[in-house]
Structure 1
Amino acid sequence: MKTLEKTATDYSIEMIKDEARHLVEAGTVSRHQPIYILCQYIPAREWVCVECELEQSDYLLRDQIGDLIACENWDND
């Protein structure tokens, strides 16, 4: 019997931004909430990797999600 165990994913800053953008577009989180809210949507064992990547990219957990996804494309300009 094979045991399938998911290993921790290496999160790039682009992956984190994409996930945050998706959650904002879905209305799950607000652009004005702090980045640490994202920990509710990322597995706990992987959150440490996310925190490290955010720190390396000069983001603080108290920064707003909008700061993380500031570069957005608007379809109706």
Structure 2
Amino acid sequence: MAVLERYCISDFQDEVRALVARGSVGRQQRIYELKRFFDDRQWPEVEHLLNEYDYLLRGRIIDLVGAECWTND
């Protein structure tokens, strides 16, 4: 995961979408599973960001990244 100086929710969501697209995490996994992609110094800032936007660590990653849009349906 890219090291972001200051996390903003849209950048964080983009990073998580990239992890989902690569298959590193699943949409149905809990948000707290993302902790393995951050070091111990970064994770508290991520937790603060998630709390600021009312995301629960026990919530699903799909709640964080939102619905996907398929162009060829």
User: Which of the five TM-score ranges fits, normalised by the shorter chain?
Assistant: 0.7 to 0.9
Percent of pairs with identical residues = 44
Residue equivalent to 2:66: 70
Q: Match for 2:46 among 37, 45, 50?
A: 50
- TM-score, normalisation: structure 1: 0.82
Q: How large is the Cα RMSD of the aligned pairs?
A: 1.7
Residue equivalent to 1:9: 5
Q: Match for 1:32 among 28, 50, 54?
A: 28
1-structure distance, mates of 2:72, 2:49: 32
Q: Which has the higher Rg, Structure 1 or Structure 2?
A: 1
Q: Tell me which stretches of 4 or more aligned residues in structure 1 moved more than 3 Å.
A: none
1:9–1:46: 8 Å Cα contact kept in structure 2? no
1-structure distance, mates of 2:5, 2:40: 12
Which 5+ residue runs of structure 2 have no aligned equivalent?
none
